[in-house]
Structure 1
Amino acid sequence: MTTIVLGAGAVGTATAWYLRKSGHDVVLIERQPEAAMETSWGNGGIIHASEVEPWSQPGMPTKIIKWLGKENAPLLLRYRAIPHIMRWGIEFARNCTPERFRENAKSNLHLALHSLKSLQEIGAEAGIDYDRATRGVLKIYRSRDSLDSAQRSTDYLAQHGLLYERADPDRCVELEPALKDTKSTLAGALYFARDEVGDSNKFAQGLAAACAARGVQCRFGETIEKIETRSGRVQAVVTSKGRIVADTVVVALGSFTAPMLAKNGIRVPIYPVKGVSITFKRAAWNAAPTMPLIDDSKLFGFVPIGDRIRISGSAEITGYDMTPAPARVAAIIANASFTFPELKRYFDISKSKVWAGLRPVSPTGTPIIGETRIRGLWINAGHGHLGWTLSCGSGRVIADLIDGRDPGIPVPPPQGVVVARAA
């Protein structure tokens, strides 16, 4: 049984791994010369069950309208993108009710916990070095109201397996001494001890090598042109290097899943949302933070990854443009410098890697995992800001579904593009 996986990001490589373990003859196709060179290259680096809440949440549509035209807005909708997202935007707004928000967050949590376990198992079995760190994640707040609201939401997820600790400012500094300079601005934090950190680029490249060693045919530098179907069933994939016959095809192309499947008449409600990260060497900054941190009020992530530091943030709806906007980069650095004043002494933009990638966001904020109306044609995409977090679990789930096994967790809702298949 030949199964082709399209896309070798974190999700695609994990999909190839689990399908090979299930006995499939797997072909992994990627247009880049190596795995994880696009959206999986420079993400925030956190594997976090603590951030499973979707962006489609109560009050978000009003906020997006208020933020229009503001370069320092947490989520910036460019005017030129509005005509292209009307249908997606309506579906997004429909998922901003409290009930749908809670259900979608719970769905992501189940998958995130499943994924964390799967990631740990793969790392142990394949022996991949990806700068893993297990100190947990600290999410800080400067408003008591914001902290209390976040705790109420987290308490709901705690009923379904999320573990956390509420920390006062003294505990925050105990966990991360680099916060001492801005301790007076803190209302407190939520500490998620089970969250981890790792370099998804290193992981996916290591996993691709492990897949190849186990018989997966990895075809890099090969552009996918179309998916051939006949009589409602998948037949083959045509690339820049030829035609490959397949029994099953899994599309794991992130934000590019939608335009690829549009060629087959399948509408996939995924829209790209650009994120930015800045990565630099810790070097002489001996007192740099060692705890991964998310700043709720300034809306950035500060994550030590090996001997590097990565600052990430920004959400920009601007189509498929992957150019980092200078104003967005400057806002992230300014926000991080407020929280960690010492950053100004050690940060040099000219010695940093400024990167932008496209988060594949669905209206529900949950990934799309399942079979399309074309038999044998599957989707594993739409993971939004949780691609690295959910990648291994998603690969495991779709392999189970393809082989008719019960994944053991609730599968995210199909969003109208997949056909339910009984386990």
Structure 2
Amino acid sequence: MTILVLGSGAVGVATAWYLNKAGQDVEVVERQPEAALETSWGNGGVIHASEVEPWSQPGMPRKIIGWLGKESAPLLLRYGAIPHMWRWGLDFSRNCTPEKFRTNAAANLNLALHSLKSLQEIASEAGITYDRATRGVLKIYRSIASLDSAQRSSDFLAQHGLLYERVDVERCVALEPALRETQATLAGALYFARDEVGDCHKFTQGLATACAKRGVRFRYGETVQSVETAGGHVVGVVTDKGRLSADTVVVAMGSFTSPLLAKLGIRIPIYPVKGISITFPRGAWNSAPQMPVIDDSKLFGLVPIGDRMRISGSAEISGYDTIPATSRAAAIVENASFTFPEMKRHLDLSKARVWAGLRPVSPAGTPIIGRTRVRGLWVNAGHGHLGWTLACGSGRVAADLITGRNPGIQVPAPQGAVIATAA
């Protein structure tokens, strides 16, 4: 019997790859005409163990309330979204204790390291090129207090395998000469040498091609309308083009996983948080950064991806809207221009791609991987801001669980109606 994977973002295609390698007959259903055209298209581009801390952290609920209605807020909760996400918000608040924050961060790091290894293995085996760069990531800080705080968090994660180095301003500029012009504003940085860069869209499309060569079938341009069950077991899905039979279904539809399974009375606590990226050609900007720079105080990342530059940032809770707000995009550009004044001479927004995607965020800030109470119905979603980082490892873990194998790592704690154990 065919296993149906719903969704062809990075997580869904990685799941299909590993299920196929395990000897399963796999079919992927995707509403878009190609793979990776939604949230996997324009993410920040960094595969980083350095960003595994969940947004559900001590003090965050109070900050979000204080940011209500402020367009410049790093995480903007729109008033109109509140009635639709109050229950998710309560679950989010419950995960903001110091103990849960540390547990969830460690779980993400564990999966991130597993995922980086899996990504490298897939790319080598399948021969995928995706603008990979391995110069590491530099996270810059403008006060000693904020740098000390970040180091304390990194020290905790270092106990679980995170590698990092605290560097002074002189070393910052040595690592990334593009910071020379504003070095007087810096207090120092944390350097994460293991982090990598890659184009998630290119990788996922390359992996989809590799999957197809191995016999995975892709049903593009087909929208899933519902999942069918009988006697407590999944029996197939209904799409806008008909019915597909299956005794195993994996829902990897990012933020759209929750509304689909709600039709079955299954609550998957995922809510969309919109992020914005601006991609533009490097062109004649010869002094552009050669490595990703994440600015702690200005809350953006500037990442070189092949011959392009990508600025990413912003978090906006506004339901399922994917239109990038002009004010939010302008704020990102202004913040990046403070750190890199030369950038404005080379960024023509009329020629740039301003994009918005929906991060599927769970209350714990960890992905939701496991089976539901319906036999044969599985979930692999809720990766939040770490979808590209965790995709390959999550696909591998999900395939192991579905086929009854030990994943070899601790699976993130179950959330909602998901049970993170093998059938």
Q: TM-score range by the shorter chain?
A: over 0.9
Q: Could you tell me how far 1:384 is from its partner in structure 2?
A: 0.1
Q: Which residue in 2 is equivalent to 1:232?
A: 232
Q: Which residue in 2 is equivalent to 1:360?
A: 360
The whole-number CA distance in structure 1 between the counterparts of 2:164 and 2:377 is: 39
**Aligned partner letter, 2:353:** K
- Deviation per CA, 1:65-98, whole angstroms, max 9, x where unpaired? 1111110110000011111111100110110110
State the SS of the aligned residue for 1:205. helix
Aligned residues of 2:52 and 2:108 also touching (Cα < 8 A) = yes
The whole-number CA distance in structure 2 between the counterparts of 1:226 and 1:77 is: 30
The whole-number CA distance in structure 1 between the counterparts of 2:289 and 2:157 is: 28
**Aligned partner letter, 1:89:** G
Q: Which residue in 2 is equivalent to 1:336?
A: 336
State the SS of the aligned residue for 2:341. coil
**Aligned partner letter, 2:231:** S
Q: Which residue in 2 is equivalent to 1:9?
A: 9
Does 1:81 pair with 2:81?
yes
Q: Equivalent residues in 2 for 1:19-58 (5 A)?
A: 19-58=19-58
Does 1:246 pair with 2:246?
yes
The whole-number CA distance in structure 1 between the counterparts of 2:419 and 2:113 is: 25
State the number of aligned residues: 423
**Aligned partner letter, 1:167:** V
The whole-number CA distance in structure 2 between the counterparts of 1:422 and 1:273 is: 30
- Deviation per CA, 1:365-411, whole angstroms, max 9, x where unpaired? 00000000000000000000000000000000000001111111110
Q: Could you tell me how far 1:192 is from its partner in structure 2?
A: 0.3
**Aligned partner letter, 1:46:** V
Q: Could you tell me how far 1:53 is from its partner in structure 2?
A: 0.1
Q: Could you tell me how far 1:416 is from its partner in structure 2?
A: 2.9
Q: Which residue in 1 is equivalent to 2:143?
A: 143
Q: Which residue in 2 is equivalent to 1:198?
A: 198
The whole-number CA distance in structure 2 between the counterparts of 1:422 and 1:133 is: 35
The whole-number CA distance in structure 2 between the counterparts of 1:346 and 1:189 is: 26
The whole-number CA distance in structure 1 between the counterparts of 2:125 and 2:422 is: 30
In structure 2, the gaps of 5 or more residues are none
Q: Could you tell me how far 1:422 is from its partner in structure 2?
A: 4.8
**Aligned partner letter, 2:153:** S
**Aligned partner letter, 2:20:** R
**Runs of 4+ displaced beyond 2 Å:** 419-423
Q: Could you tell me how far 1:421 is from its partner in structure 2?
A: 3.1
Residue range with higher mean Cα deviation, 239-248 or 298-307: 239-248
Q: Which residue in 2 is equivalent to 1:98?
A: 98
Q: Which residue in 1 is equivalent to 2:384?
A: 384
Aligned residues of 2:383 and 2:390 also touching (Cα < 8 A) = yes
Q: Could you tell me how far 1:255 is from its partner in structure 2?
A: 0.2
The whole-number CA distance in structure 2 between the counterparts of 1:111 and 1:133 is: 21
Aligned residues of 2:136 and 2:195 also touching (Cα < 8 A) = yes
**Aligned partner letter, 2:379:** I
Identical-pair percentage: 76
Q: Equivalent residues in 2 for 1:390-409 (5 A)?
A: 390-409=390-409
State the SS of the aligned residue for 1:85. helix
State the SS of the aligned residue for 1:37. coil
Aligned residues of 2:337 and 2:344 also touching (Cα < 8 A) = yes
State the SS of the aligned residue for 2:160. coil
**Aligned partner letter, 1:116:** L
Q: Could you tell me how far 1:346 is from its partner in structure 2?
A: 1.0
The whole-number CA distance in structure 1 between the counterparts of 2:420 and 2:7 is: 23
The whole-number CA distance in structure 1 between the counterparts of 2:216 and 2:374 is: 24
Does 1:129 pair with 2:129?
yes
Aligned residues of 2:413 and 2:420 also touching (Cα < 8 A) = no
- Deviation per CA, 1:148-196, whole angstroms, max 9, x where unpaired? 0010010000001000000100000000000001101101000000000
**Aligned partner letter, 2:152:** R
Q: Which residue in 2 is equivalent to 1:373?
A: 373
The whole-number CA distance in structure 1 between the counterparts of 2:418 and 2:152 is: 33
Q: Which residue in 1 is equivalent to 2:215?
A: 215
State the SS of the aligned residue for 2:350. helix
Q: Which residue in 2 is equivalent to 1:182?
A: 182
Aligned residues of 2:140 and 2:189 also touching (Cα < 8 A) = yes
Aligned residues of 2:16 and 2:26 also touching (Cα < 8 A) = yes
**Aligned partner letter, 2:74:** P
The whole-number CA distance in structure 1 between the counterparts of 2:421 and 2:136 is: 37
Q: Which residue in 1 is equivalent to 2:107?
A: 107
Q: Which residue in 2 is equivalent to 1:173?
A: 173
The whole-number CA distance in structure 2 between the counterparts of 1:126 and 1:420 is: 29
State the SS of the aligned residue for 1:351. coil
Q: Which residue in 2 is equivalent to 1:310?
A: 310
Computed over aligned residues only, the root mean square deviation of the Cα atoms, in angstroms, reads: 0.8
Q: Which residue in 2 is equivalent to 1:264?
A: 264
Q: From the superposition, tell whether residues 367 and 133 of structure 1 become closer, same or farther in structure 2 (CA, over 3 Å).
A: same
**Aligned partner letter, 2:5:** V
TM-score by length of 2: 0.99
Q: From the superposition, tell whether residues 422 and 282 of structure 1 become closer, same or farther in structure 2 (CA, over 3 Å).
A: closer
The whole-number CA distance in structure 2 between the counterparts of 1:113 and 1:185 is: 33
The whole-number CA distance in structure 1 between the counterparts of 2:102 and 2:395 is: 24
Q: From the superposition, tell whether residues 422 and 42 of structure 1 become closer, same or farther in structure 2 (CA, over 3 Å).
A: closer
**Aligned partner letter, 2:127:** G
- Deviation per CA, 1:331-363, whole angstroms, max 9, x where unpaired? 000000000000111111001000000000000
Q: Could you tell me how far 1:420 is from its partner in structure 2?
A: 4.5
- Deviation per CA, 1:10-53, whole angstroms, max 9, x where unpaired? 00000000000001100011000000000000000000000000
The whole-number CA distance in structure 2 between the counterparts of 1:419 and 1:95 is: 18
**Aligned partner letter, 1:386:** L
Does 1:67 pair with 2:67?
yes
**Aligned partner letter, 1:72:** S
